Structure 1
Amino acid sequence: MGHDQLLMNAKISSIRQNFRRDCLRCGASVETLIQALKDYPTARAILTLGGLDGRLLDKDYLNCVDWLEDVRRILDRKVVEDFITTLWNSWNNHNNFVFYGKKDEAHVVWDSTKTFCRDF
Structure 2
Amino acid sequence: RLFYPLILDELLMQSRQCLLHNLTGCTKHACDRTCIKQCAKQVAANGTAGEAFRAIKRQGFYSGLFSAKPVSYTKAFSLLKNKIDTWLVDLRFLDSDEEINARIKAAEDFAAKGADKAFSEPFKDIIEKKFWFC
The TM tier, using the shorter chain, reads: under 0.3
Larger radius of gyration: 2
TM-score, length of structure 2 as denominator length: 0.24
TM-score, length of structure 1 as denominator length: 0.26
**Structure with the larger helix share:** 1
Higher RCO, 1 vs 2 (CA within 8 Å, ≥6 residues apart): 2
**Structure with the larger strand share:** 2
